[in-house]
Amino acid sequence: MNSNTGLCKDPPYVYDSSSNSNSDFEYVGDDKSNCTLLIHNVQFRYSGEYRFRFITNVDRGTGFPGVTVQVADLKVSLIRLSGDGTLKQGDSLNLMCDVTCTHSSSQFVWSKNNEQLNTSGPVLHFPALTVRDSGNYTCTWKTNKASGSKTISLQVEGDWSVKYPGPVCAVRGFSVSIPCSYYYPKGLQVTQMLWCSMNSNTGTCHDPPYVYSSSSNTKSDFEYVGDDKSNCTLLIHNVQFSYSGEYRFRFITDWIDGEWTGEPGVTLQVAGFSCVIIIDPSLSDLSDVESFLLSVKDLKVSLIRLSGNGTLKQGDSLNLMCDVNCTHSSSQFVWSKNNKQLNTSGPVLHFPALAVRDSGNYICTWKTNEASGSKTISLQVEGYNPDLDHWSVWMILGVTAGVSVLVSVFLGAVIYSRRTKAAQM
């Protein structure tokens, strides 16, 4: 009733069976007795009263008063009961799941790192934190008609821990380094280091398979470049799309039960490099487009025509755009031509007016703190090259001068020979 009045005899309607328009309001009832309405992507402005109206071949009716929809915001709050500053072992706290509308059938379900916990109710209590309590906690609120969830992260400092960077971006076919550090009580000796992929393992990676194990001599794309002290860096070679996902480091010491898995782990996102040509659809002559197509697929180096059509000619305008489909705050783009670095940066290399001397192989190199990759695209510009013409003129002059000198020497030799013979007679 935010946009209508009374018996809803006239539009607007949030749903009308005679209309094919799509919206967040979906009718999942029928034309018999079920008039259920399903609302997607609920917004605060959807709060209010809703009424159902139906028309038969005999009569019509509107159900009023209608049903009231109250839109709430789900919040997960951290309430400190003891301790201050960063979370430390022994601190006490509550995680509280709160929704601003009440419902008799409300249920609260808690999970840690996507694994459901054996607890219920809006409050999750931690009487004395340990490092093992670190993780991502999700509260899911459910009723008979609606549900929602919200996640909060806990990071507890202590003697046992593994520290990873944020999500790591890599390019398919290249190498990537995942920095990692691990900590444990003094006096212990690390006896085994393990890395696992959550694509093939679960939980704390207590059992195989592992992508790396210090007790195995198997060679693979996963190389451990850390040590048995504190560095747990993993270097992945020849990265493939299938390597995307979460990775966790686990280590075992010489103390009974002295083992630890860093969870949640670090997420690896694998992007591709490819070279493609993007032609402005407003251009009429596309007969020569096939000559530009490159077979390399995946990090994208795109040629975007801004003017001109067909083969590249002098005066045409274009951009070379380097694009990778994963984002990283430390990303850098470096351009080079024929293996010589250009004095430009950023993902776009602009050519306002092409010249023949712009022909060549252009390389875009993408770099982050952990990874890098490069791809080459070739430009061939047709047209007049003044530099080549200058060389041609000088070559013609040089050849002409050389021929003149040879002729002069030859004639001189002939004249000298004849005079010598005449003198002898």
**Per mean pLDDT, which of 248-252, 324-328, 352-356, 363-367 is the most reliable?**
248-252
The pLDDT score that the predictor gives to residue 298 is 56
Q: Are 372 and 365 in contact (CB under 8 A)?
A: yes
> pLDDT band at residue 169, thresholds of 50, 70 and 90?
confident
Distance between first and last Cα of the chain? 133
CB within 8 A of 21, min separation 6: which ones?
A: none
Cα angle 233, 238, 243 (rounded to 5 degrees) comes to 70
Q: Do 87 and 65 share a structural domain?
A: no
268-281 pLDDT, tens digit per residue, is 888 665 444 333 33
In a domain, 391, yes or no: no
**CATH number of the domain that residue 351 is part of:** 2.60.40.10
Decide if 46 is inside a domain: yes
Asked if residue 372 belongs to a domain, the reply is: yes
Burial class (CB in 10 A: 0-12, 13-18, 19+), 232: buried
Q: Are residues 261 and 279 in the same domain?
A: no
Residue 405 lies in a domain: no
| 97 and 129 in a common domain | yes
Domain with 365 in it: 274-379
Q: Is 259 found in the same domain as 199?
A: yes
Which pLDDT value is given to residue 104?
Answer: 61
> Which among 17, 52, 71 is the end of a domain?
71
Structural domains in the chain (count) = 4
Is residue 409 situated within a structural domain? Answer: no
The answer to whether the predicted template modeling score (pTM) of the entire model surpasses 0.85 is no
Do 107 and 38 have their domain in common? no
Q: Is 386 a member of any domain?
A: no
Is residue 394 domain-resident? no
Do 171 and 145 share a structural domain? no
- The last residue of one of the domains, among 39, 71, 103, is 71
Mark 67-99 as b/e (b = at least 16 C-beta within 10 Å). Answer: eebeebeeebeeeeeeeeeebebebebebbbbb
State how far the Cα of 7 lies from the Cα of 13, in Å rounded to an integer: 12
My answer on whether 251 and 169 are in the same domain is: yes
